[in-house]
Amino acid sequence: MSSHQVAILGGGISGLSAAYYLARHGIDCVLVEKETRTGGLIRTEQLENSQLEAGPDSFLAAKPAVTELASEIAGLPERIISSNDAARRVFIVRNGRLVPLPSGMSMMVPGELRPALVSPLFSLPTRLRFLTERFRQPQQRASDISVGELVRDHFGDELLESVADPLLAGVYGGNAASLSARSVLPRFVEYERRFGSLIRGVQHEKKSPTAGSLFRSFSGGMQDLIDALATRTAASLLTGREARAVYRDGNCWRIQLGGETFAAEHLIVALPAHRAALLLEASAPQLAAELAAIPYSSAILTNLLYNSARLENPLEGFGFLVPQRERRTIAAATFVNRKFPTRIAPGLFAIRAFIVGAEAVRLRAAADNELVRLAENDLHRLSGISSPAQTALVHRWPDSMPQYVVGHAHRVDRIRQLSAGLPSFHLIGNAYEGVGIPDCVRLARSAAENIYSDIKSK
Ligand SMILES: Cc1cc2nc3c(=O)[nH]c(=O)nc-3n(C[C@H](O)[C@H](O)[C@H](O)COP(=O)(O)OP(=O)(O)OC[C@H]3O[C@@H](n4cnc5c(N)ncnc54)[C@H](O)[C@@H]3O)c2cc1C
């Protein structure tokens, strides 16, 4: 039976970055991944000389962890590309038509009043709310509330239904009624406490704008990051092996893979919370119950490649969001040529169409061609594309997006306390302190640093 200093379970970006940071310190680790490939939700497909992202297409530039990681790896910094923010406009479907979100919006908060006051997206009562919201007094809520309650309280139902809810569906695969204001929009909760008004908070923040583009990616797609990390940690990868259980045995952790078991001094669990819960059911039932209680939503992503010469409309902006009352199948679409123009071969136009939440669950067993047909129907209805896609790829991501529901921060506190009671145990991933890739890398780095300090101090 083999023994290692560290075992990492899960070979998505969280597990791979942890392996990278440990390897950098010369720490011996083994990473167990149940699929035959690493990368988890990150995967770039090459098709017709174009790069199509099966999962995430970019990372937020404002959160530095990915850029810092890439800067350490030879060849990667030159491959970082920026989103084409000159074309950054997002449309919202209203009465079956695409209407641009007014400029100056920060998520669902109008940072510039003028464009919001003349936008056809909003009726007179909502415009009046924009004017009066600026005079609210600072307020500290006694407890967490939903994003829906926060937005309704400040701006009313129309902004909630037409902007906030579709935005949250697009980013989190969730809905405003259940997602936690404190965990999903901590910035706005802070503005409410400091300024009373969210509009004034956003205006204050805009006085110190961050330089550069909003999103970044890599010239070969997000896969560039995975490939670079996998190469640097190749010696320690155990792919095609599923961890079944973990338990403490004397001074080490034992990891059970089917019939075989191996030992490690430290354990990093880099899995979706519901998968981590299964492993810990017997050895840490209370922690497992808290992990299992984090809900997840599902997504189906359809990449459609069109012959650009056959597209009737110009298809401007980064894409559009579909409010619930306008929705048939897709909740959002991204126009890849506008966001990352270098990704798509000349003469082609790529659209990522997202099906999320209950609709993704309902359609989970649908055939690929049926999903493509439904996405095409919506694109025809909403953007006037009548010719069929010349190629399409469908990726299903069941139970992939953790939902930070009301009370999430308290649950994470309990999870951290229970984890701290387990020696040399580290939980990382997107279920706790941020759903994006930079948050995953930040947690992975911090777990690796903690392990390094611990090993060094002995
Ligand atoms: C459709 C979609 C689009 C997204 N877009 C963006 C975006 O543009 N930007 C952004 O920042 N974020 C985005 N995200 C979120 C981002 O993809 C995730 O936060 C991130 O990839 C999570 O990485 P992870 O390593 O924590 O988990 P995962 O990628 O889920 O990796 C977990 C790994 O664990 C493995 N595993 C599971 N059980 C076991 C077991 N028992 N034993 C061994 N291995 C196991 C899995 O096979 C998987 O490889 C998106 C998510 C989705 C679903």
Say whether pLDDT at 211 is over 70: no
User: What backbone torsions phi and psi does residue 294 show, to the nearest 5 degrees?
Assistant: -80, 115
Query: pLDDT grade, residue 57 (50/70/90)?
Result: very high
pLDDT of residue 314: 83
C-beta of residue 438 within 8 angstroms of C-beta of residue 60 = yes
Say whether pLDDT at 217 is over 80: yes
| Residue of 112, 108, 333, 339 whose CA lies nearest to 213 | 339
Residue with tokens 């006051």: 117
User: What backbone torsions phi and psi does residue 272 show, to the nearest 5 degrees?
Assistant: -55, 145
Say whether pLDDT at 85 is over 70: yes
Mutational pocket test of ligand 1: of 9, 41, 53, the residue with most ligand atoms within 8 Å of the beta carbon? 41
Span from the CA of 198 to the centroid of ligand 1 (angstroms):
32
Atom of ligand 1 nearest to the CA of 436: 11
In short, whether 355's Cβ falls inside 6 Å of ligand 1 is no
C-beta of residue 210 within 8 angstroms of C-beta of residue 60 = no
Span from the CA of 328 to the centroid of ligand 1 (angstroms):
27
Span from the CA of 32 to the centroid of ligand 1 (angstroms):
15
The protein residue with its alpha carbon nearest to ligand 1, atom 22, reads: 430
| pLDDT tens digit sequence for 137-154 | 999 999 999 999 999 999
| Furthest CA-CA distance within the chain | 71
| pLDDT tens digit sequence for 249-273 | 999 999 999 889 999 999 999 999 9
Q: Please spell the DSSP secondary structure of 300-333, one letter per residue.
A: EEEEEEEEGGG--S---SSEEE--GGG-SS-SEE
In short, whether 32's Cβ falls inside 6 Å of ligand 1 is yes
HSE at residue 408, side-chain half, CA atoms within 13 A, is 27
Alpha-carbon distance 264 to 325, whole Å?
Answer: 52
Span from the CA of 430 to the centroid of ligand 1 (angstroms):
8
C-beta of residue 185 within 8 angstroms of C-beta of residue 150 = yes
In short, whether 396's Cβ falls inside 6 Å of ligand 1 is no
Span from the CA of 271 to the centroid of ligand 1 (angstroms):
8
| Residue of 66, 189, 15 whose CA lies nearest to 438 | 66
| pLDDT tens digit sequence for 327-359 | 999 999 999 999 999 999 999 999 999 999 999
C-beta of residue 355 within 8 angstroms of C-beta of residue 124 = no
| Residue of 135, 130, 96, 92 whose CA lies nearest to 114 | 130
Alpha-carbon distance 147 to 191, whole Å?
Answer: 14
Task: Please state the rounded mean pLDDT for residues 20-30.
Answer: 94
CATH 1.10.3110.10-classified regions of the chain: 104-206
pLDDT of residue 205: 85
C-beta of residue 268 within 8 angstroms of C-beta of residue 15 = yes
Task: Please state the rounded mean pLDDT for residues 298-305.
Answer: 98
Alpha-carbon distance 253 to 425, whole Å?
Answer: 9
Task: Please state the rounded mean pLDDT for residues 276-292.
Answer: 97
| pLDDT tens digit sequence for 176-188 | 999 999 999 999 9
Say whether pLDDT at 207 is over 90: no
C-beta of residue 23 within 8 angstroms of C-beta of residue 236 = yes
104-206 falls under which CATH superfamily?
protoporphyrinogen ix oxidase, domain 3 (1.10.3110.10)
Span from the CA of 400 to the centroid of ligand 1 (angstroms):
7
Alpha-carbon distance 352 to 370, whole Å?
Answer: 16
State which amino acid sits at residue 364. R
Cα–Cα distances (Å) from 313 to 226, 238, 373, 379, 391, in that order, read: 36, 48, 20, 11, 19
In short, whether 42's Cβ falls inside 6 Å of ligand 1 is yes
Q: Give the range among 72-76, 230-234, 240-244, 318-322 with minimum mean pLDDT.
A: 230-234
The protein residue with its alpha carbon nearest to ligand 1, atom 14, reads: 56
Q: Which two tokens mark 296?
A: 């997840």
Judging by DSSP bridges, how do beta strands 59-60 and 44-47 pair with one another? unpaired
Atom of ligand 1 nearest to the CA of 279: 41
User: What backbone torsions phi and psi does residue 430 show, to the nearest 5 degrees?
Assistant: -95, 10
Span from the CA of 40 to the centroid of ligand 1 (angstroms):
5
Say whether pLDDT at 209 is over 70: no
Note the CATH number of domain 296-402.
Answer: 3.90.660.20
CA angle 238, 243, 244 (to 5 degrees): 155
Task: Please state the rounded mean pLDDT for residues 44-60.
Answer: 96
pLDDT of residue 427: 98
- 408-420 exposure pattern, b = at least 16 Cβ within 10 A, e = fewer: beebbeebeebbe
* Cα distance between the two ends of the chain: 24
pLDDT of residue 3: 84
Q: Does the domain at residues 3-41+63-80+219-295+405-457 carry the CATH identifier 1.10.10.10?
A: no
Q: Which two tokens mark 243?
A: 């961890």
Say whether pLDDT at 1 is over 60: no
pTM above threshold 0.95: yes
pLDDT of residue 212: 77
The protein residue with its alpha carbon nearest to ligand 1, atom 13, reads: 56
Residues in the chain: 458
Q: Which stretches within 173-304 are classed as H helix?
A: 181-184, 186-195, 198-206, 223-232, 273-280, 285-292
The protein residue with its alpha carbon nearest to ligand 1, atom 10, reads: 436
In short, whether 12's Cβ falls inside 6 Å of ligand 1 is yes
Mutational pocket test of ligand 1: of 271, 280, 352, 397, the residue with most ligand atoms within 8 Å of the beta carbon? 271
Instruction: Specify burial of residue 226 (Cβ count, 10 A radius: 0-12, 13-18, 19+).
Output: buried
Span from the CA of 345 to the centroid of ligand 1 (angstroms):
27
CATH 3.90.660.20-classified regions of the chain: 296-402
Task: Please state the rounded mean pLDDT for residues 7-31.
Answer: 96
CATH 3.50.50.60-classified regions of the chain: 3-41+63-80+219-295+405-457
Which uninterrupted H or E stretch holds 393?
Answer: strand 391-402
| pLDDT tens digit sequence for 88-115 | 999 999 999 999 999 999 999 999 999 9
Say whether pLDDT at 81 is over 80: yes
pLDDT of residue 113: 96
Query: pLDDT grade, residue 210 (50/70/90)?
Result: low
